[in-house]
Structure 1
Amino acid sequence: MEQRSSLQRFNQVLLGFLLFFGLLYLGSSFLVPIAIGGLFAMLLVPVCQRLERWKLSRSVAALICVFAVVIILIGLISVLITQIFALANDLPELGKMLTAKLDQARTFATDKFDLSREKQNEYVRNQLEGATQMAGSYIRSFLLSTSSFLLNFVVVITYTLLFLIYRRRLRNFILKLVRDREGSYAQNIVNKITGVASSYISGVFLVVVILAAVNTAGLMIIGIEHALFFGLLAGLLNIIPYIGSIAGSLIPVIFALLTKEALWYPIGVAIFFLVVQQIESYILTPNITGSKIKLSAMATLMVLLLGGMIWGVAGMILFVPYLGILKVVFDNIEKLQPYGYILGNEEEKENPKPIIAKPASEG
């Protein structure tokens, strides 16, 4: 009887997971803008609260915050588009450099591996056909997504504004759900979670801004053209853990390899990004966000891949910070602390006590 009950609980948990992730997958077009708006709202909560302390109404403060974000995003997008057009103007020259590099590689292959030019040309042609087809599919999907970008942008901004205006109502809704069972302890839990989540999201964006500035300055010093574009791109891609940092550093290394005759340029770019990544991993992130939330590499990688499967690139960006917020919830509720422990990377000797615990008399 006990084994049957355990099997039933396992089946219920498994069914719950399937339903939850199935709803996330099927409702992605509805849920992704809400998730992005929620992150922006958590980022802007401290600024909105400061404006409210200056005797501004909540609606006015929220409007000012959202308007500032829109201006910043428009400026960032404008800079990126300008840099992309500048890079596009250099494509003919890059094509000539690429041809020269390929000729050098073919000569090396002929001398060292005794491969005829015909076999090399056939191999390159096959690879180019596959790359062209892949690029065509990406371009088509990009054009389709661009057509709905403005609509999604308006929706996200609207959600951000509404979350800021109605954040007290949303908090009271959660309190009403648990008030009969938890009493006044729920208030402390919600305050702790919202405060830590807001500071965590703010820290993530601060790290991105710092990395974008450092990357741009470093590439300019090394002498890489379009340093602003590559620096901003690497900083923004750093939002995606592991994969983003690798892609953000690999692109300028390849660009330096194609555009510079001296080999020390790509090597210098690679060393520079390696140093920056070590500084980000051991200094910036631990001091800015790691003091609040510590996610293990195992949990981060698993949720990164899961987010990519369910929501694509948006999931890879969104699932990690929301997992961090979920860990805050687990860490501050006694019964859920084991789940917070398995998600974190705290030392095993550390056994933090929950800040909220029911009195023993309440059972």
Structure 2
Amino acid sequence: MIHPIKLPFYAKLACILVSLISFAYIFCITKDILTPVLLAFLFAVLLLPIFTFLNTKFKFPRHLAAIICVLIFLAFIGGILIFISYQVTNMASDFDTIKKNANSFIIEIHKFIRENFQISIGEQKKYLDTVTKDSVKNGNATLGSAIISISDLLLDSTIIVIYTFLFLIYKEHFKLFLAKLINKENHAALKDILSQIKVSINNYIVSLILEMIIVSVLTSLGLWIIGIKYFILLGLITGILNLVPYIGILVAGVITVLASLTGSGETSVIVGILIVNVIVQLIDNNLLVPLIINSKVEINAFVSIMGIIVGGAAAGISGMFLAIPLLAILKIIFDRIESLEPWGYLMGNHIPRKFAWRIRKAKVQE
């Protein structure tokens, strides 16, 4: 146990709040630098068992073991991207059908609005023409922003791969650095913290992958039942986008609706897609997340949602993805530092054993 300097409550609270604000401010102004580093750290922890196995069992040199781990990771990501690109290429051959069905669907929407809101089709088209003209005026700026975003994505992806490789190589170096920062009597607590962080992050990422697979299978099955042509591709895209909280499933729903136009533009098909997405989300939120995610990361829903919102505001989609593992790391640290135990309890789902023992003891004494 790490024993901090004894301070009055108000002084400790002030120090904690100032530290949190300082860390948040530093992260916001350096998010473009820190986000790839944190993502690489998560991927390195995920690949660490493979790295250790190659390095200890097969006696591979550290550099070679790290290269093999990174290549396995890239092969996995590349395989998914190749499959998606192949399916999208096939879908592009149905562009004329999509266009025809989209026009039919738009006409049905125009009729529905005219019958229920008494707005003529001419007025609706006039409004759409105005919006279209405004979009065309901003087209060049949008195209330029898209090109810059793609360039930044490629650069960040390359940097993440390099950082992941370096994290694997310098794993022991970083451990020794942390050991040198604290006193020897606290090395046992440090070892426990690092061990729990590794287990927690591994469990979380593996759980995310398992959740992605289950959501992909359920969505594909539902889309197959209602007769969607590219049900496997759309199920996989839904599973991947579901990793992005809140926003991902909405984007997946729009993509699925557009893809459904390769077969039919009937409203009943689109309603069926919405029903499938709602059912899968109910299963995901009420069964998969509590059983798979929350059982591995002991953080309550309130703190999780707050963390995701703050992460999204600070660093966009990457911040939302990083929020839960970073909160898990903070909780592990808080639970093992006596003065920060109340904050660890606030973030958790249940009463820690240490606190439960103290409560029972207090009741017995009464």
- Could you tell me which residue of structure 1 aligns to residue 252 of structure 2? 248
Residue 163 of structure 1, CA deviation: 0.9
Looking at structure 1, the residues matched to 128 and 262 of structure 2 have their Cα atoms a distance apart, in angstroms, of 17
Q: Cα deviation per residue 1:228-281 (whole Å; 9 max; x = unaligned)?
A: 332222111121223323433454246447853544433333333333223333
Residue 224 of structure 1, CA deviation: 1.2
Structure 2 matches for 1:256-271, cutoff 5 A? 256=260, 260-271=264-275
- Could you tell me which residue of structure 2 aligns to residue 284 of structure 1? 288
1:157 aligns with 2:158: no
Which among 130, 135, 143 is matched to residue 126 of structure 1? Answer: 130
- Could you tell me which residue of structure 2 aligns to residue 209 of structure 1? 213
- Could you tell me which residue of structure 1 aligns to residue 65 of structure 2? 61
* Structure 1 pair 176–225 and aligned structure 2 pair: CA distance change class (3 A): same
Q: Is the CA contact 1:253–1:267 (under 8 Å) kept in the aligned structure 2?
A: no
- Could you tell me which residue of structure 2 aligns to residue 359 of structure 1? none
Of stretches 194-203 and 250-259 in structure 1, the one that deviates more from structure 2 is 250-259
1:97 aligns with 2:98: no
Structure 2 matches for 1:180-191, cutoff 5 A? 180=184, 182-191=186-195
Which among 300, 304, 312 is matched to residue 300 of structure 1? Answer: 304
Of stretches 29-38 and 242-251 in structure 1, the one that deviates more from structure 2 is 242-251
SS at match of 1:184: helix
Residue 41 of structure 1, CA deviation: 0.6
Looking at structure 1, the residues matched to 259 and 39 of structure 2 have their Cα atoms a distance apart, in angstroms, of 32
Residue 314 of structure 1, CA deviation: 1.8
SS at match of 1:353: helix
* Structure 1 pair 137–316 and aligned structure 2 pair: CA distance change class (3 A): farther
Structure 2 matches for 1:1-363, cutoff 5 A? 15-57=18-60, 58-129=62-133, 138-180=142-184, 182-253=186-257, 255-256=259-260, 260-344=264-348, 346-347=349-350, 350-353=351-354
* Structure 1 pair 152–218 and aligned structure 2 pair: CA distance change class (3 A): same
SS at match of 1:224: coil
Which structure is richer in relative contact order (CA contacts within 8 A, separation 6 or more)?
A: 2
* Structure 1 pair 120–192 and aligned structure 2 pair: CA distance change class (3 A): closer
Of stretches 230-239 and 333-342 in structure 1, the one that deviates more from structure 2 is 333-342
Q: Is the CA contact 1:254–1:266 (under 8 Å) kept in the aligned structure 2?
A: no
Residue 44 of structure 1, CA deviation: 0.9
Looking at structure 1, the residues matched to 258 and 244 of structure 2 have their Cα atoms a distance apart, in angstroms, of 20
Residue 34 of structure 1, CA deviation: 0.8
* Structure 1 pair 87–331 and aligned structure 2 pair: CA distance change class (3 A): farther
Residue 28 of structure 1, CA deviation: 2.4
The amino acid across from 1:102 in the alignment is I
Q: Is the CA contact 2:95–2:262 (under 8 Å) kept in the aligned structure 1?
A: no
Looking at structure 2, the residues matched to 267 and 206 of structure 1 have their Cα atoms a distance apart, in angstroms, of 28
Q: Cα deviation per residue 1:148-178 (whole Å; 9 max; x = unaligned)?
A: 4443322211111111122222223222222
* Structure 1 pair 303–259 and aligned structure 2 pair: CA distance change class (3 A): farther
**Where do 5+ consecutive residues of structure 1 fail to align?**
355-363
**TM-score, normalization by structure 1:** 0.82
Looking at structure 2, the residues matched to 122 and 15 of structure 1 have their Cα atoms a distance apart, in angstroms, of 55
Looking at structure 2, the residues matched to 188 and 152 of structure 1 have their Cα atoms a distance apart, in angstroms, of 32
Looking at structure 1, the residues matched to 140 and 96 of structure 2 have their Cα atoms a distance apart, in angstroms, of 19
Looking at structure 2, the residues matched to 318 and 198 of structure 1 have their Cα atoms a distance apart, in angstroms, of 14
Q: Cα deviation per residue 1:264-301 (whole Å; 9 max; x = unaligned)?
A: 43333333333322333344333433222133332222
* Structure 1 pair 20–287 and aligned structure 2 pair: CA distance change class (3 A): same
Of stretches 245-254 and 196-205 in structure 1, the one that deviates more from structure 2 is 245-254
Residue 133 of structure 1, CA deviation: 6.3
The share of aligned pairs that are identical, in percent, is 29
Q: Is the CA contact 1:45–1:198 (under 8 Å) kept in the aligned structure 2?
A: no
**TM-score, normalization by structure 2:** 0.81
**Where do 5+ consecutive residues of structure 2 fail to align?**
1-7, 356-366
SS at match of 2:183: helix
Looking at structure 1, the residues matched to 336 and 296 of structure 2 have their Cα atoms a distance apart, in angstroms, of 12
Residue 338 of structure 1, CA deviation: 2.0
The amino acid across from 2:28 in the alignment is Y
Looking at structure 1, the residues matched to 231 and 137 of structure 2 have their Cα atoms a distance apart, in angstroms, of 29
